[in-house]
């Protein structure tokens, strides 16, 4: 188990390369305009207007462009994708379509009847126990779909842990479409005893706590474990699994993708409960992270253009294993 070097020199790299430092304001502003193009003219005119916006964004956002190029080169070893500029444009186009679908969901314009579910029997069984669970998601596909669809089923109460200060423009836009879009978000920067008690109460009451497992925390010394992902080791947060150990509840994986033109929501049980013995804690966390990374890779290969981490996922300068301390 590792912590990033917290020296001031590396903190500069932290600010420059961490996913949370990416500026989403300009892209969201463009998407807001394109949303109204869709409302007036439909999806194909939306796409015609989309590509000039994408071309400008790809030209001006060097970090995101390089990250997409690197990612596409890696994933091509597992599934055919376009490389170079054509691939990057397709990747960002998928991102824009994903944002549009989020806006349509909250605007009440998305046909939820088309959604296909996998693993829902396990979730129904969990609901019948009267106790909730921890859902570990990712930035693959459209998690917003799960949040909105849960409103169709009042018995599914979601609490989504987020760093909202790093997505303020997008959250404001969703709030304009539907003020209820902010109701089940919980801002969390660290797991305090008070936060743990709150989440435990919600799970005991039958609620589900949702947390992303593929972005390291916004912290000077984030706790991570390394796992193979698309051919190379990458840093993953251990926080979701530490939380699962504290809450002592079932842990599910949650993926939401567009497959063959149809939205799919997939649930998988990871553990009935997570035990982290003191002497073998690091090994247990390493095994959990590796299992999560393997399932994330499985779904990423199925929908490669729906992986939306536009930063250097495999090589963060301030988070080298050689710099890590126990």
Output the pTM of the full model. 0.82
- Asked if the structure places residue 21 within a domain, the reply is yes
No. of H helices and E strands in the chain?
Answer: 11, 10
Dihedrals phi, psi of 116, to nearest 5 degrees: -105, 140
Do 69 and 61 meet the contact criterion of CB atoms below 8 Å apart?
A: no
Task: Provide the number of structural domains found in the chain.
Answer: 1
- Asked if the structure places residue 321 within a domain, the reply is no
- Asked if the structure places residue 292 within a domain, the reply is yes
Do 245 and 285 meet the contact criterion of CB atoms below 8 Å apart?
A: no
- Asked if the structure places residue 105 within a domain, the reply is yes
- Asked if the structure places residue 323 within a domain, the reply is no
- Asked if the structure places residue 324 within a domain, the reply is no
Alpha carbons 121 and 98: distance in angstroms, whole number? 27
- Distances from the Cα of 160 to the Cα of 1, 181, 302, angstroms: 26, 11, 25
| DSSP secondary structure string for all residues of 106-167 | HTT-S-GGG-EEESHHHHHHHHHHT--EEEEE-SBB-HHHHHHHGGGSTT--EEEEE-GGGS
- Asked if the structure places residue 243 within a domain, the reply is yes
Q: Going by C-beta distance under 8 Å and a sequence separation of 6 or more, which residues neighbour residue 4?
A: 10, 14, 220, 221, 222, 224, 316, 318, 319, 323, 324
Q: Which two tokens stand for residue 229?
A: 């992902």
Alpha carbons 138 and 168: distance in angstroms, whole number? 19
Q: Which two tokens stand for residue 3?
A: 């912590």
Burial string for 82-100 (b: 16+ CB within 10 Å, else e) reads eeeeebbbbbbbbbbbbbb
pLDDT tens by residue, the chain, 326 residues: 655 443 333 444 444 444 344 445 555 666 667 777 777 887 788 778 777 877 887 888 888 899 999 999 999 999 999 999 899 999 998 988 887 787 777 677 777 778 888 888 888 888 888 888 999 999 899 877 776 666 666 777 888 877 655 555 555 655 555 566 545 767 666 667 777 888 889 899 888 888 889 988 766 677 889 999 999 999 999 989 998 998 889 999 999 998 888 889 899 999 998 988 888 999 999 999 999 999 999 999 999 999 988 888 997 655 444 333 22
- Asked if the structure places residue 326 within a domain, the reply is no
Domain containing 186 equals: 2-315
């Amino acid at each position: 188990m590792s912590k990033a070097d917290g020296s001031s020199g590396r903190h500069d790299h932290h600010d420059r390369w961490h996913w949370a430092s990416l500026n989403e304001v300009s892209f969201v502003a463009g998407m807001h305009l394109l949303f109204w193009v869709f409302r007036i003219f439909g999806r194909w005119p939306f796409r015609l207007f989309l590509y000039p916006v994408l071309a400008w964004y790809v030209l001006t956002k060097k970090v995101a462009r390089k990250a997409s190029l690197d990612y596409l080169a890696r994933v091509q070893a597992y599934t055919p994708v376009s490389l170079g500029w054509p691939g990057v444009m397709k990747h960002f186009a998928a991102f824009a379509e994903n944002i549009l679908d989020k806006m349509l969901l909250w605007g009440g314009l998305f046909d939820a009847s088309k959604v296909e579910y996998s693993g829902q029997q396990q979730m129904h069984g969990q609901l019948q126990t009267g106790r909730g669970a921890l859902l570990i998601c990712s930035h693959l596909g459209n998690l917003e779909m799960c949040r909105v669809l849960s409103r169709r089923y009042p018995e599914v109460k979601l609490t989504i842990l987020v760093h909202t200060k790093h997505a303020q423009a997008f959250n404001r836009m969703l709030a304009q479409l539907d003020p209820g879009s902010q109701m089940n978000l919980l801002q969390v920067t660290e797991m305090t005893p008070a936060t743990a008690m709150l989440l435990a109460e919600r799970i005991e009451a039958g609620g589900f706590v949702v947390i992303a497992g593929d972005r390291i925390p916004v912290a000077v010394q984030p706790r991570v474990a390394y796992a193979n992902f698309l051919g190379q080791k990458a840093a993953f947060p251990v926080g979701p699994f530490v939380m699962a150990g504290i809450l002592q509840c079932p842990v599910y994986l949650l993926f939401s993708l567009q497959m063959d033109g149809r939205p799919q929501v997939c649930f998988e049980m990871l553990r009935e409960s997570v035990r982290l013995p003191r002497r073998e804690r690091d090994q247990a966390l390493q095994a959990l992270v590796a299992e999560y990374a393997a399932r994330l890779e499985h779904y990423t290969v199925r929908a490669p253009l729906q992986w939306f981490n536009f930063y250097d996922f495999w090589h963060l300068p301030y988070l080298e294993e050689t710099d890590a301390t126990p």
